[in-house]
Amino acid sequence: MAQSDKEKFFQGLNIILDVSNIEVVYNEVILVLKGLSLQVPEGKIVTLLGSNGAGKSTTLKSISGLLKSEDGEVTDGKIEFNKQEIKNSYAEEIVRQGIFQVMEGRRIFKELTVDENLTAGSYIRKDSSSNIKADREHVYELFPALKRRINMRAGYLSGGEQQMLAIGRALMAKPRLLMLDEPSLGLAPLLVREIFETIKQINKEGTTILLVEQNANLALSVADYGYIMESGKVVLDGPAEILKNNDDVKEFYLGFSEGGDKKSYKNVKHYKRRKRWLS
Ligand SMILES: Nc1ncnc2c1ncn2[C@@H]1O[C@H](COP(=O)(O)OP(=O)(O)O)[C@@H](O)[C@H]1O
Ligand SMILES: [Mg+2]
């Protein structure tokens, strides 16, 4: 990736989240992130891609403070939000600063109704109840399916509706930075497209987004900038448009490498390319 493409992209943008060279250790021994760096400019959608086990969720949890509840710790590097160090701060403090993570697997309160879940999302706000009510109405505009289920217990919603509710609940906290961990996971393609359209809309309305995905094609279609990680480190990054057309990315992550006879040759090429990235 030409350095100038990156520089051009970041020029004049305000870096709202600056993660620099972090190391993360679980249970005091398992080193999972090994010098990971990424930057999120205000107002953009940045995607973090990588295969299963690369460390994407760990990265988000390091930022949101949710690592602590899994006996994980950021042992090195810095995490600045809005120019302030937030590394190893408490999750609730980080929410107050304006970062909200929607965890993988749609964590919602299953016993509460849809409406109650949304109300719960606003707990940190000191706004007037009329402002909060207006924001709740806005969530129902973004996700009309939720409005139709307003008094239903969340546990009875479909997978897609639960994902919408998880995002809606996050919006109720009015975050400046919304972090989404694999929102497409386990959902039918049509629904995924709908949710991604809404993610774009949320961004247009002013929320910065850090989107973790295994589905690179989908993520790069909505993101402005992408980072690709492997084994706890970023191996490639660049503007989404450029990544989409990058041969390595196409082969590894966009699934264009399928096909009969040349398979073993391609495997060798894979191996070479992989080495090139990692060197
Ligand atoms: N709570 C934990 N304790 C120990 N190891 C963990 C924990 N969570 C994740 N890991 C390990 O960290 C690595 C990265 O996991 P994760 O961040 O979930 O990757 P991804 O989200 O990219 O699939 C994996 O090898 C995983 O087994
Ligand atoms: Mg994950």
pLDDT tens digit string along 206-243?
999 999 998 898 999 999 999 999 999 999 999 999 99
Q: Which ligand is closest in space to the CA of residue 52? A: 1
Q: What are phi and psi of 195, to 5 degrees?
A: -65, -40
Q: Report percent pLDDT > 70 for the chain.
A: 90
When pLDDT is averaged across residues 178-187 and rounded to a whole number, the result is 94
Q: How far apart (Å, rounded) are the C-alpha atoms in residues 271 and 104?
A: 30
**CA–CA distances in Å: residue 187 to residues 39, 82, 209, 214, 276:** 29, 34, 20, 13, 34
Q: Is residue 147 predicted with pLDDT exceeding 70?
A: yes
What is the best residue among 33, 47, 48, 58 to mutate for testing ligand 1's pocket, by most ligand atoms within 8 Å of CB?
58
Q: Domains, the chain, ranges and CATH?
A: 3-248 (3.40.50.300), 249-279 (no CATH)
User: In sequence order, what E strands does the chain have?
Assistant: 15-26, 30-41, 45-49, 72-81, 84-85, 99-102, 177-181, 208-213, 225-230, 233-239
The pTM assigned to this predicted structure is 0.91
Output the pLDDT for position 263: 38
DSSP state of 70: G
* Ligand that comes closest to the CA of residue 181: 2
What residue owns the CA closest to ligand 1's atom 5? 26
How far is the C-alpha of 15 from the C-alpha of 89, rounded, in Å?
A: 20
User: What gap in Å lies between CA 75 and CA 23, rounded to an integer?
Assistant: 6
Average pLDDT over the chain, rounded to an integer: 89
Q: What are the backbone dihedrals phi and psi of residue 232, each rounded to the nearest 5 degrees, phi first? A: 85, 10
Question: Closest Cα to atom 8, ligand 1: which residue?
Answer: 58
Nearest-angstrom CA–CA distance, 251 and 2:
19
Distance 242 CA to ligand 2 centre (A): 25
Enumerate residues lining ligand 1, CB below 6 A.
26-27, 30, 32, 50, 52-58, 70, 72
Question: Which is nearest to 248 in space by CA: 212, 216, 211?
Answer: 216
**Predicted confidence (pLDDT) at residue 259 exceeds the cutoff of 60:** no
Residue 216 CB burial class (10 angstroms; 0-12, 13-18, ≥19): buried
Question: Which amino acid residue places its CA nearest to atom 16 of ligand 1?
Answer: 55
CB under 8 Å to 15, separation ≥6 — which residues? 39, 40, 41, 42
Ligand nearest to the CA of 228: 1
Instruction: For residue 54, give the ligand 1 atom closest to its CA.
Output: 22
74 C-alpha vs ligand 1 centroid, how far in Å? 14
Residue with tokens 């279609």: 221
Tens-digit pLDDT profile for residues 74-110:
999 999 999 999 999 999 999 999 999 999 877 899 9
Q: Ligand 2 center to residue 25 CA distance, Å?
A: 16
- C-alpha distances out from residue 162 to 76, 112, 149, 175, 201, Å: 35, 12, 11, 19, 19
pLDDT band at 205 (very low <50, low <70, confident <90, very high): very high
Whole-angstrom distance, CA of residue 258 vs CA of residue 246 = 17
If you average pLDDT over residues 172-188, what whole number do you get? 94
| Secondary structure of residue 181 in the 3-state scheme | strand
Q: What share of the chain is helix, strand, coil (3-state, %, to 5)?
A: 45, 25, 30
Kindly give the distance from the C-alpha atom of residue 263 to the centroid of ligand 2, in angstroms, as a whole number: 29
C-alpha–C-alpha distance, residues 92 and 74, integer Å: 17
**What per-residue string of b and e applies to 139-164 under the rule 16 or more CB within 10 Å gives b?**
bbebbebbeebeeeebeebeebbbbb
DSSP structure class, residue 153: B
- Note the ligand closest to the C-alpha atom of 59: 1
